Structure 1
């Protein structure tokens, strides 16, 4: 089976890579998304649901900054410098996955008070928060769809044997 590096990352070192690179960030992001809907609908920006939303937002943002900081030098840079990419679908999958750092770091920064201090009220802050969540959902789904696509469909070439150092362990 032909796999993108994104899918290979999730498939190797079972179950750890799946938990580290998919389950933890997705469960936290989905917790943020679901609690966000409740908060925006009820406009109750204080209490247990907001605390859960804020905590999950900060944790997922900081967590994904760590994922990004690990994957870029250990995977993206070597793949790029050695020409190890499996075609455009492979690049889209990995770049879209890593692009999740922007909205996830954004929600963490917002909840840590690093950005958005000039917004007029809690509802405006939650609106920006929701925009970050929406952006994350877009890039995460692009990553998942591209990641599950056979990279050879867009002219990608699969190596006969993985080159040493390009495995996403």
Structure 2
């Protein structure tokens, strides 16, 4: 089966690429998401859960910034320059994966006090939760399209099983 560059990246250099590009960012993001739920329900804006949430948010954003820069330099720019993309699914998977920098970076900037300084805690909590939700959506879109055979969304590729069918 053909693989998107997203899936090939995770499959190569086992288990290291899977750990570096999937496990670490996802574990940090899921830690933020899970602790966020408890914080939202309890409205307890300080304490151990908030410290874990803040730590995972800041480390996750900084870590993913490094991943983003590395993959832009070693994959996105070279693939774009050489026409190496494998179709729409490939571009969608990698694009949505890398778009995780927006919500992860936003959470980091918020938790470091670099944005929305004048906002009250309730408004900051709401924005933080929105960033978590956006990250979960873009990460799952990346995973879904990343697992597709990239030829499925290519216009000149016949659909499997459809070659002999008539209208």
TM-score (structure 1 length as normaliser): 0.90
| 1:34 maps onto 2:34 in alignment | yes
| 1:126 maps onto 2:125 in alignment | yes
Contact 1:87 1:157 in 2 (8 A): no
Give the Cα–Cα distance (whole angstroms) in 1 for the partners of residues 156 and 140 of structure 2.
Answer: 24
3-state SS, counterpart of residue 83 of structure 2: coil
Contact 1:86 1:156 in 2 (8 A): no
Give the Cα–Cα distance (whole angstroms) in 2 for the partners of residues 152 and 115 of structure 1.
Answer: 42
Aligned to 1:12: 12
| Aligned counterparts, 1:1-169, within 5 A | 1-119=1-119, 121-155=120-154
TM-score (structure 2 length as normaliser): 0.92
Structure with greater Cα Rg: 2
Give the Cα–Cα distance (whole angstroms) in 1 for the partners of residues 11 and 156 of structure 2.
Answer: 19
3-state SS, counterpart of residue 86 of structure 2: coil
Question: Can you give the 5+ residue segments of structure 2 that lack an aligned partner in the other structure?
Answer: 158-167
- Structure 1 segments of 4+ aligned residues over 4 angstroms from their partners: none
Larger relative contact order (CA 8 Å, sep ≥ 6): 1
Q: Taking structure 1 as reference, are residues 138 and 54 closer, same or farther at Cα in structure 2, changes over 3 Å only?
A: same
Give the Cα–Cα distance (whole angstroms) in 1 for the partners of residues 139 and 156 of structure 2.
Answer: 24
**Pairwise CA RMSD:** 1.3
Q: CA deviation at 1:157?
A: 8.5
3-state SS, counterpart of residue 52 of structure 2: helix
Aligned residues: 157
